[in-house]
């Protein structure tokens, strides 16, 4: 199941369309990214600093770093979790 269109944004990285949303939680934020098709692996990137502003440029950087680290958005793995260090 993909991210809902309402409440999420679309971004294109290297010719691939993704949807992303920020999910605030107690003391941190989670940036959730998935291919726009809704199929494949979902990336959950935890940020522990509420002072940061999540912009499309920041999301692009998160996606590129996750891809570099081996995230395969087309895989059948349900969720890949990363943490900002």
The pLDDT value given to residue 12: 96
Stated pTM of the model: 0.84
What 3-state DSSP class applies to 65? helix
For the chain, which residues make up each domain, given as ranges? 9-83
The mean pLDDT value for 30-36 works out to 91
User: Model confidence over 40-66: pLDDT tens digits?
Assistant: 899 999 888 766 778 999 999 999 999
Is residue 43 packed enough to be buried (19+ CB in 10 Å), middle (13-18) or exposed (0-12)?
buried
Say whether pLDDT at 28 is over 70: yes
The pLDDT value given to residue 15: 95
CB atoms within 10 A of CB 20: 23
Instruction: Give the count of alpha carbons within 13 A of 71, CB side only.
Output: 22
């Amino acid at each position: 199941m993909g991210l809902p269109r309402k409440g999420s944004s679309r971004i294109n990285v290297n010719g691939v369309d993704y949807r992303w949303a920020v999910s605030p939680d107690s003391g941190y934020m989670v940036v959730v990214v998935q291919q726009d098709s809704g199929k494949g692996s979902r990336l959950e990137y935890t940020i522990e600093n509420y002072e940061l502003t999540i912009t499309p440029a920041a999301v692009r950087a998160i996606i590129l770093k996750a891809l570099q680290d081996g995230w395969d958005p087309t895989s059948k793995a349900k969720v890949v979790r990363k943490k900002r260090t």
